[in-house]
């Protein structure tokens, strides 16, 4: 059936949890592209045949006309599916640009296609360049602040650092009060956790 593979491709994306990526399906993707090429060959041969017979494709509605139409529609549908697959994955990749720094964790990186990795890099740079134009870091402060200080536990040895209001020795398992804005970068890197309650 025409368009079946493209449908599977989109289905695969919608079945994955939102915001999560499954591995890029190279195989199926290539098959859909092959489908498209096949459609266009058949479409062209039908159009040629119609031309040779001298029938006008605006007025003549014969089997060839509808055949050509079917191939065109199948092609367009495949294209929509391919684009939807790519675009929706690209949106997830976009979101990664907000939460991870320029280097992707391995477990995410291996799920991306080559072009997607490129896209992540270039889009992250675009985002970073906006932030440096404005001299404002938009990657912190994701939740509305309640208290300027939060209680955190250090999960990984960080060492002596100068924070905005104090210099602190962040040894492993130390529990301390830090400025929320200072702590956020470490929390997003997984080096600290916030203690609540």
Partner 1 sequence: MESGSDKGTVGSSAMDDYETLISTTDADLLKRSWRNEKASPEILQFESSLVQRSREQIQLMEETVEEFMNNGEDPLTVSLYQMDIDRTMFLLRSYLRIRLQKIEKFMFHIQKTAQLWTRLSRQEQKFAKRSIEDMKQHLDESVLSKLPDRYKSHLKQSVISEEDDMVMEPKLDAFVICRSRKFLGGLPVDDSGEENPLDMYAGDIYALRYKSIKPLVESGQLDLV
Contact assessment for residue 98 and residue 120, using Cβ atoms and an 8 Å cutoff: no
Q: Which stretch binds partner 1 (CB under 8 A): 46-54, 108-116, 150-158, 170-178?
A: 108-116
Residue 113, judged by CB atoms within 10 A of its CB (0-12, 13-18, 19+), counts as middle
The residue within the footprint of partner 1, chosen from 46, 50, 75, 152 (CB under 8 A), is: 75
Site for partner 1, residues 21 to 60, rule: CB under 8 A: 33, 36-37, 39-40
Q: Is 160 helix (H, G, I), strand (E, B) or coil?
A: strand
Residues 6+ apart with CB under 8 A from 157: 170, 171, 172
Binding flag, residue 169, partner 1 (CB under 8 A): no
Contact assessment for residue 119 and residue 126, using Cβ atoms and an 8 Å cutoff: no
The residue within the footprint of partner 1, chosen from 136, 173, 196, 197 (CB under 8 A), is: 136
The residue within the footprint of partner 1, chosen from 181, 185, 188, 191 (CB under 8 A), is: 181
Binding flag, residue 86, partner 1 (CB under 8 A): yes
The residue within the footprint of partner 1, chosen from 22, 60, 62, 129 (CB under 8 A), is: 129
């Amino acid at each position: 059936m025409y368009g079946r593979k493209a449908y599977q491709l989109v289905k695969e994306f919608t079945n994955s949890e939102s915001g999560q990526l499954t591995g890029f399906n190279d195989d199926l993707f290539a098959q859909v592209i092959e489908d498209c090429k096949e459609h266009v060959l058949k479409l062209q041969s039908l159009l040629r045949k119609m031309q040779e017979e001298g029938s006008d494709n605006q007025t003549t509605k014969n089997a060839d006309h509808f055949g050509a139409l079917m191939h065109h529609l199948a092609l367009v549908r495949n294209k929509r599916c391919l684009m939807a697959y790519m675009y929706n994955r690209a949106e997830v990749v976009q979101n990664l640009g907000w939460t991870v720094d320029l280097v992707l964790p391995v477990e995410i990186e291996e799920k991306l296609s080559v072009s997607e990795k490129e896209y992540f890099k270039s889009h992250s740079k675009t985002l970073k360049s906006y932030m440096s134009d404005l001299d404002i870091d938009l990657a912190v402060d994701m939740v509305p602040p309640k208290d300027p200080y939060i209680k955190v536990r250090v999960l990984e040895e960080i060492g002596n650092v100068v924070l905005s209001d104090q210099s602190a020795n962040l040894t492993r398992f130390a529990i301390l009060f830090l400025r929320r804005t200072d702590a956020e970068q470490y929390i997003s890197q997984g080096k600290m956790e916030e203690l609540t309650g």
